[in-house]
Amino acid sequence: MRFIFLTIVIAILVVFLNAVAPFWIVMIGVATLSALIFPNGIGGFMAGGLGMGLTWLGQCIYLGIMTDSHLPDMMGELMGIGSGVTLVAVTGAIGFFLGGFSAYTGVLFRNMLQKTPQNVYRG
């Protein structure tokens, strides 16, 4: 349940914060959210990755459809990766990894700050 909640909250954060702040501020927000919601390591990575990656992918598709621009195709040719669809997919993959690693950073930061019991037998 925390996985789905974290994914939705990260997607909402990316939609609203990405319009007014650079991507690294959004990454700090994703790390903060994942530190506050307490997911486990792989769950935090996947929630952050899916939340940010799908949001970036959706925003690219939305802007491409609404503006009917040929810019993605031209940029894909200029970068040597083919069509604009490939460029949109690469953007989604970059968003996935940025969101995933920033959420995992938040999980590791929370684990670093938690106290562990000393001199306790764990048998």
Domain locations along the chain: 2-113
Q: Which tens digits make up the pLDDT trace of 29-86? A: 999 999 999 888 899 999 999 999 999 999 999 988 898 888 888 888 888 888 888 9
Distance CA 6, CA 29 (A): 12
Q: Which tens digits make up the pLDDT trace of 70-95? A: 888 888 888 888 888 899 999 999 99
Of residues 70 and 12, more confidently modeled: 12
Confidence of residue 123 (pLDDT cuts 50, 70, 90): low
Distance CA 96, CA 87 (A): 14
pTM higher than 0.85: yes
Specify the pLDDT at position 1: 85
Specify the pLDDT at position 47: 95
Of residues 122 and 9, more confidently modeled: 9
Distance CA 59, CA 20 (A): 14
Specify the pLDDT at position 76: 86
Distance CA 51, CA 13 (A): 9
Give how far Cα 61 sits from Cα of 33, 65, 89, Å: 26, 6, 10
Confidence of residue 114 (pLDDT cuts 50, 70, 90): confident
C-beta of residue 30 within 8 angstroms of C-beta of residue 100: no
C-beta of residue 38 within 8 angstroms of C-beta of residue 2: yes
Longest dimension (CA), the chain: 65
Confidence of residue 25 (pLDDT cuts 50, 70, 90): very high
